[in-house]
Amino acid sequence: MIFMPPSTPDWSALRADFPILDQQVHGHPLVYFDNAATSQKPRAVIDALVRYYERDNANVHRGIHELSNRSTNAFEAARERTRKFLNARSTEEIIFTRGTTEGINLVANAWGGKFIKAGDVILLTEMEHHSNIVPWQMLAERTGAKLRYIPITGDEGLLDLGKLDSLLTPEVKLFAMVHISNALGTLNPVADLCARARKLGITTLVDGAQSAGHLPVDVQAIGCDFYAFSGHKICGPTGIGALFGRKEVLENTPPWHGGGEMIATVDYFKSTWNTLPHKFEAGTPDISGPIGLHAALDYLDAIGRENIFRHDLDLATYAYQRLSELKGVRLFGPRGERGGLVSFLLDDVHAHDVVTIADRYGVALRGGHHCTQPLMKKLGVPSTARASFYFYNTRAEVDRFIEVVREIQKFFGV
């Protein structure tokens, strides 16, 4: 998949929008390479949150006073902005959630609770995050359904798609797949996978935690039934995300949480449900979250997601190449096009030691199983170290990271 950037942004000017990046950590300039865990926030997002709390704060959809109207309008404007960001057909298809994890749990409980039965199969891939495994295991336990996995090819971390035909049997009712793997960087061909599933009448879910805000996402072009993402990974606040659900699917899906806002009428023994998407948003929602997310999506689209993809890919390719020139480095994930991260191991050095020493030099990495324990087992490692990039990172920072990796190798004598 090649995206052509419309124009090249001034990346170093953008960096100045992120106050947090301008600091020393343990006496060294901060190199923040933990963006797959959470991104930093630009001034525009911080200001939107402050402005909301200083001027407009009130509950939504309830009051008829001025502040409540302002708050409701801003909340629903954020929904329209999110619709546009994903190219969904209607705001009825955009449910605000706490993030990717909650979006997937909503589908597993509400949709899965109605449509998954004993003997059905839920198809996943071997590179899924726990958020796209555990909710399905819980559903399978409740219903008697079974899980099945598309294997990966080894350290290169591609899906072994030669096996797909034999896995897409008539028992498969749901196919849930990660768009970009947080542990490998693999960019999966989700539009092709969804098309193959759709031909067989299989419902599809895409985990967009690492893809939204990193490349252009068009849920109609992907052709998925559900797409979940988290705002905090793409310059937005923590605690807010969205679940796209195709309207026809959501209309047939019962609510998950019960309470205020999600009802049309309530009496002592029976209730009826609100229209989409409100039937899936019980109780007072996170209000400042969508407002901050709105500012984040405006910010990202002003840069251009094609540009962000190219920039992240350049850093990942450069880091991969520089690491591969060092002795004793084991690299994970594809050599070619990939998401903006690199997972690696240094000989026998534990990933936590790599991350701990890198931190002394001001370089923020992540080490561990990255919430992909089954994948780590498959790769035969307890953990990996991971450098993950975003558009405010630079090649000079990658050079600094490589210097630090060499210091770590010297320290451990490897």
Residue 129 interacts with ligand C6P (CB under 6 A)?
A: yes
Residue 88 vs 209, nearer CB to ligand C6P: 209
Q: Is 312 in the site for ligand C6P (CB under 6 A)?
A: no
How many residues in the shown chain lie near ligand C6P by CB under 6 A?
A: 17
15 and 397 Cβ atoms separated by less than 8 Å: no
332-367 CB burial, b ≥16 within 10 A, e <16: bbbeeebbbbbbbbbeebbbebbbebbeebbbbbbb
The least CB distance from residue 257 to ligand C6P, in Å, is 17
CA-CA distance, 361 to 366, in Å (whole number)?
14
Backbone angles phi, psi at 21, to 5 degrees: -70, -20
Smallest distance, Å, CB 166 to ligand C6P?
A: 26
Q: In whole angstroms, what is the distance from residue 45 CA to residue 293 CA?
A: 7
Beta-strand (E) ranges in 294-377? 329-332, 341-346, 363-364, 366-368
Judged by CB under 6 A, the chain residues 163 through 202 that form the site for ligand C6P are 178, 182
Place of tokens 């988290």: 230
Q: Does 91 bind ligand C6P (CB under 6 A)?
A: no
CA triple 139-145-150, angle to 5 deg: 95
Catalytic residue among 194, 224, 235, 371: 371
Question: Which is nearest to 168 in space by CA: 198, 143, 140?
Answer: 198
d(CA 334, CA 146): 29
Measured from the CB of residue 168, what is the shortest distance to ligand C6P in angstroms?
Answer: 22
The one segment of 50-58, 189-197, 322-330, 365-373 that binds ligand C6P by CB under 6 A? 365-373
- Of 18-26, 133-141, 300-308, 364-372, the segment contacting ligand C6P by CB under 6 A is 364-372
- Shortest distance in whole angstroms from residue 78 CB to ligand C6P: 18
Residues 117, 171 contacting (CB under 8 angstroms): no
Binding mask 272-311 for ligand C6P (x = CB under 6 A): ----------------------------------------
**384 near ligand C6P (CB under 6 A):** no
Whole-number Å distance between alpha carbons of 153 and 343: 16
Shortest Å distance, C-beta 207 to ligand C6P: 5
Closest CB 121 distance from ligand C6P, rounded Å: 21
Locate 189 and state its tokens: 């061909």
99 scored as a contact of ligand C6P (CB under 6 A): yes
What residues numbered 27-86 form the site for ligand C6P, per CB under 6 A?
36-37
Is 245 an interacting residue with respect to ligand C6P (CB under 6 A)?
Answer: no
Residue owning tokens 């910010």 = 299
Task: Give me the least distance between CB of 411 and ligand C6P, in Å please.
Answer: 25
Q: Residue 122's closest CA among 103, 104, 99?
A: 104
Q: Which two tokens stand for residue 191?
A: 């539009």
Q: Which is nearer to ligand C6P, 25 or 371 (CB)?
A: 371
The tokens describing 282, both together, are: 């019980």
CB of 100 to ligand C6P, least distance (A): 4
Chosen residue from 71, 105, 109, 210 binding ligand C6P by CB under 6 A: 210
Neighbours of 394 (CB within 10 A): 16
Q: Cβ(218)–Cβ(87) under 8 Å?
A: yes
Q: What are phi and psi of 66, to 5 degrees?
A: -55, -45
Options 109, 125, 131, 203; binder of ligand C6P; rule CB under 6 A: 131
Residue (132 or 383) nearer to ligand C6P, CB: 132
Asked if residues 96 and 236 have their Cβ atoms less than 8 Å apart, the reply is no
Q: Establish whether 235 is a catalytic residue.
A: no
Strand pairing class (146-150; 121-125):
parallel
Interface region with ligand C6P, contact rule CB under 6 A, candidates 219-227, 327-335, 363-371, 391-399? 363-371
Residue 279 or 366: which CB sits closer to ligand C6P? 366
Can residue 343 be called a binding residue for ligand C6P (CB under 6 A)?
no
Q: Is 400 in the site for ligand C6P (CB under 6 A)?
A: no
Closest CB to ligand C6P: residue number: 182
Residue placing its CB nearer to ligand C6P in the complex, 56 or 110: 110
CA distances from 242 to 17, 49, 226, 339, 390 (A): 25, 18, 10, 21, 21
> Which residues here bind ligand C6P, judged by CB under 6 A?
36-37, 99-101, 129, 131-132, 178, 182, 207, 209-210, 230, 366, 370-371
Catalytic residues: 371
